[in-house]
């Protein structure tokens, strides 16, 4: 397999297609992916089957969610000439590997994944008592193992999923690799340091809270959202000194503003030298400056969404080739290869 000679270490990560992305996705994942693509052989994919594990009842929006998300990936600077960008469901081998891995995954491992019980109990509007939802980590393991990924850039919340992938890979190798080289490497999480990013209401930025600043928000919308953002609740009047360390606007400054602005905010806020309106204006300036180049890159795809689909098709084709090679190894290890072998007679076996 010539592609494996001296290959760069491989990185794989995915995102469920939730539609338009926000600043949290940028600082928590995309910025990192963009950096990684220059250093590693990167595979980034749309986990549309994973979206179905919870949103199975109504799939009407799935395609537009995929395209919207891709606008944001490309806007953030993911380069389809460098990284392989694809759709999980367009590489059907993920389903085959998922099935094979499901055979060797003990139920207890799945029931113990922290997000499993928590989400099953907390998300009331959907019935998550399904076979598919329990198998979420098995599908994710198949995603990762398919590309023999060395590193998986993820946030803290996804580390248990990478851990279970390691366990499943180890179990597969134990059963089926014999004395040969293990079929699957054990992947490592590449923990993305996630700055605490508050939304406009001060809670963690999240689409479902309706407090997010989207990567596609035009400047007036960004400024408007900042205007209504909560501040230090104790700073009621302009003349009251504030405490930036309890203020979500200050958290945005710390992530997005330059050092001198951060200092001006600290001094100005604690001495009542600046008002919140001014301070929020500076935060909006920083965001607009970051979002401008993204929105510039985004335009060409928005004008011609077909380009996005072509990128995904080309990437999925590349991914299918790698996946087919892995499945060849996996099937062979499990004695499921498509090569003919004469039946073995018990009596003469081993002779
Ligand atoms: N579970 C991940 C999330 O919700 C998405 C995902 C699916 C993923 N398959 C993956 C991430 C493989 C990394 C590797 O964010
Ligand atoms: Fe927050 Fe800025 Fe107002 Fe201080 S001045 S409370 S940091 S918005």
Q: Which domain holds residue 275?
A: 217-298
- 90 and 167 in a single domain? The answer is yes
- 108 and 128 in a single domain? The answer is yes
- 187 and 111 in a single domain? The answer is yes
- 81 and 179 in a single domain? The answer is yes
- 293 and 309 in a single domain? The answer is no
Q: How far is the CA of 303 from the centre of ligand 1 (A)?
A: 29
The pocket around ligand 2, CB under 6 angstroms, is made up of 231-232, 235, 242, 244, 247, 249-250, 265, 269, 274, 276, 279-280
CATH number of the domain bearing residue 71: 3.40.50.620
CA distance 69 to 126: 23
CA distance 196 to 322: 36
- 121 and 223 in a single domain? The answer is no
Q: Whose atoms come closest to the Cα of 165: which ligand?
A: 1
At 53, give phi and psi (nearest 5°): -60, -30
pLDDT attached to residue 351: 47
- 171 and 29 in a single domain? The answer is yes
Q: What angle do CA 279, 281, 284 make, to 5 degrees?
A: 115
- Is there a contact between 218 and 212 (Cβ–Cβ < 8 Å)? no
- 104 and 68 in a single domain? The answer is yes
Within-domain flag for 118: yes
Within-domain flag for 188: yes
Q: How far is the CA of 338 from the centre of ligand 1 (A)?
A: 31
The best mutation among 11, 12, 15 to test binding of ligand 1, ranked by most ligand atoms within 8 Å of the C-beta, falls on 15
* pLDDT tens for the chain, residues 1 to 351: 444 556 799 999 999 999 999 999 999 999 999 999 999 999 999 999 999 999 999 999 999 999 999 999 999 999 999 999 999 999 999 999 999 999 999 999 999 998 888 888 888 889 899 999 999 999 999 999 999 999 999 998 899 999 999 999 999 999 999 889 999 999 999 998 888 899 999 999 999 899 999 999 999 999 999 999 999 999 999 999 999 999 999 999 999 999 999 999 999 999 999 999 999 999 999 999 999 999 999 999 999 999 999 999 999 999 999 999 999 999 999 999 989 989 887 665 554
DSSP string, 187-223: PEEEEPP----B-TTSSBP-GGGT-PPBTT--HHHHH
Based on the structure, what is the number of domains in the chain?
2
- 141 and 126 in a single domain? The answer is yes
Within-domain flag for 349: no
Within-domain flag for 233: yes
Within-domain flag for 339: no
Q: At what angle do helices 219-227 and 276-303 cross, to 10 degrees?
A: 150
- 242 and 119 in a single domain? The answer is no
CATH number of the domain bearing residue 277: 1.10.240.10
Q: Whose atoms come closest to the Cα of 147: which ligand?
A: 1
Q: How far is the CA of 45 from the centre of ligand 1 (A)?
A: 9
Q: How far is the CA of 348 from the centre of ligand 1 (A)?
A: 48
- 92 and 230 in a single domain? The answer is no
Q: How far is the CA of 15 from the centre of ligand 1 (A)?
A: 5
- Is there a contact between 312 and 46 (Cβ–Cβ < 8 Å)? yes
CA distance 70 to 339: 40
Q: Whose CA is nearest to atom 4 of ligand 2?
A: 269
CA distance 326 to 319: 11
The pocket around ligand 1, CB under 6 angstroms, is made up of 12-16, 47, 50, 140, 143-144, 152, 154, 158, 161
Within-domain flag for 212: no
CA distance 54 to 48: 11
Within-domain flag for 107: yes
Distances (CA, A) of 106 to 57, 137, 165: 27, 12, 13
b vs e for 321-347, b when ≥16 Cβ sit within 10 Å of the residue's Cβ?
Answer: ebbebbbebbbebeeeeeeeeeeeeee
Q: Whose CA is nearest to atom 3 of ligand 2?
A: 276
- 177 and 129 in a single domain? The answer is yes
Q: Whose CA is nearest to atom 13 of ligand 1?
A: 13
Within-domain flag for 211: no
Q: Whose CA is nearest to atom 8 of ligand 1?
A: 14
């Amino acid at each position: 397999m010539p592609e494996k000679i001296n290959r760069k270490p491989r990185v794989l990560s995915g995102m469920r297609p939730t539609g338009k992305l926000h600043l949290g996705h940028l600082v928590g994942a995309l910025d990192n992916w963009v950096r990684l693509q220059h250093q590693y052989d990167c595979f980034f994919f749309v986990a549309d089957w994973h979206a179905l594990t919870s949103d199975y009842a109504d799939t009407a929006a799935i395609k537009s969610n995929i395209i919207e998300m891709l606008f944001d990936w490309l806007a953030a600077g993911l380069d389809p000439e460098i990284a392989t960008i694809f759709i999980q469901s367009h590489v059907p081998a993920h389903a085959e590997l998922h099935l094979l891995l499901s055979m060797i995954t003990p139920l207890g491992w799945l029931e113990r994944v922290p997000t499993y019980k928590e989400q099953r109990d907390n998300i009331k509007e959907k019935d998550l008592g399904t076979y598919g939802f329990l198998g979420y980590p098995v599908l994710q393991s198949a995603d990762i193992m398919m590309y023999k990924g060395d590193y998986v850039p993820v946030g803290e919340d996804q580390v248990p999923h990478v851990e279970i992938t390691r366990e499943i890979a180890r179990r597969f190798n134990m059963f089926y690799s014999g004395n040969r080289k293990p079929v699957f490497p054990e992947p490592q999480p590449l923990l993305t340091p996630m700055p605490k990013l508050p939304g406009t209401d001060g809670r963690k930025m999240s689409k479902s809270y309706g407090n997010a600043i989207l990567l596609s928000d035009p400047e007036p919308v960004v400024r408007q959202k900042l205007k209504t953002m909560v501040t230090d609740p104790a700073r009621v009047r302009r003349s009251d000194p504030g405490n930036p360390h309890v203020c979500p606007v200050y958290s945005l400054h710390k992530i997005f503003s330059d050092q001198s602005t951060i200092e001006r905010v600290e001094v100005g806020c604690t001495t009542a030298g600046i008002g919140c309106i001014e301070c929020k204006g500076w935060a909006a300036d920083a965001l607009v400056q970051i979002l401008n180049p993204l929105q510039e890159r985004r335009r060409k795809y928005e004008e011609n969404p077909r380009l996005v689909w072509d990128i995904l098709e080309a990437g999925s084709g590349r991914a299918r080739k790698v996946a087919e090679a892995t499945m060849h190894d996996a099937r062979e290890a499990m004695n499921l290869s498509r090569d003919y072998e004469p039946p073995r007679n018990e009596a003469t076996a081993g002779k």
